Amino acid sequence: MYRRFDGIYASTIVPMHEDQGIDFDALAAHIESVGRADGIRGLLINGHAGENFTLASEEKRRIVQCARGILGPDRVLISGIYSESAAQACEDAASMESAGADALLVFPPFSWALAEMEDVVLAYHRRIIAGTRVPIMLYQAPVGAGRLPYSPETLRALLDLDRVAGIKEGSWETARYEANYRMVRRHAPGVRIMPSGDEHLLCTFLLGGDGSQVSIAAIVPETVVALWNAVRRGDMAQALREHERLYPLVRAIYGTAPAARATARLKTCLHLLGRIPTPVMRAPMTASSPDERALLRRALCDAGLL
């Protein structure tokens, strides 16, 4: 039923002017370049890489409209939904759906990192589901993100909700990924499992999954697709070659502390490659420091991109 969501999705960034307003011309070029790359099934827009939590609701709606207008009906668009308020999340979800999103990825509010309350988690998702018609995707947060990652019990309860089509599995730890993968396959075999740990895509692809939603594909979509295809056909030699191409870049972007600076690093890489005009971030996040830029330049060189 939900196999149409299988495949590789790039999680896109949002280029900005120096005044931190969205550069929609640069955004359109970014969406066109990444969304039309060979083998890319679709895009995850308004995700963490897209600075969702700093954008106004109308800005997020315009981003969905921009992507749909450029890519038309032949690419799947998944829009992230994030708000501390369930009412606002529901309103945004309906807005993204009407703007052209094919599915909605529901991010847990950051306040949930303090404690997991299953009744709250379920009520939040149920409200979004009741106010929309398109499929819903869950987000499994990294193991290091406090109480944001759902317990196996809460995850199973979420899988029982209506129209849950998939999980962006971002545990960022292969043992936890495998445990969740096995549980979902047993409990809800039709739900699509999308590993999203950019640093260990090879490991999770080998363990199993239905595709991926990753921001490294916003820089090197062809490499992520080639890795996925090599694993699917059992070509380990090719898979290892693609992994070696990815490794220096993913370590610099995601494996360098603090990990919360990954989006700034993505933008810096795209700027160094001449693909976006500026690496500006929306406050309170800041652009890369000179030392960070130097690290990323070396990583791009090591990856054969510069």
pLDDT, one tens digit per residue, over 44-91 is: 999 999 999 999 999 999 999 999 999 999 999 999 999 999 999 999
Q: How many residues does this entry show for the chain?
A: 306
Work out the average pLDDT over 96-106.
Answer: 98
Mean pLDDT, all residues of the chain: 97
Percent of the chain with pLDDT over 90: 97
Residue 181: which residues within 8 A CB-CB, separation 6 or more?
169, 193, 207, 208, 209
Q: pLDDT, tens digit, for every residue of 123-166?
A: 999 999 999 999 999 999 999 988 999 999 999 999 999 999 99
Domain boundaries in the chain?
3-231
Give the model's pLDDT for residue 103.
98
Give the model's pLDDT for residue 51.
97
CATH code of 3-231, in short, is 3.20.20.70
Dist. CA 196–CA 177, nearest whole Å:
10
Give the model's confidence band at 1: pLDDT under 50 very low, under 70 low, under 90 confident, else very high. confident
Q: pLDDT, tens digit, for every residue of 196-222?
A: 999 999 999 999 999 999 999 999 999
> Residue 104 pLDDT more than 90?
yes
Give the model's pLDDT for residue 115.
86
Work out the average pLDDT over 21-30.
Answer: 98
Give the model's pLDDT for residue 52.
97
Give the model's pLDDT for residue 129.
98
Give the model's pLDDT for residue 116.
78
- Considering the entire predicted model, what is its pTM? 0.96
Dist. CA 24–CA 22, nearest whole Å:
6
Q: pLDDT, tens digit, for every residue of 261-285?
A: 999 999 999 999 999 999 999 999 9
Check if the beta carbon of residue 263 is closer than 8 Å to that of residue 285: yes
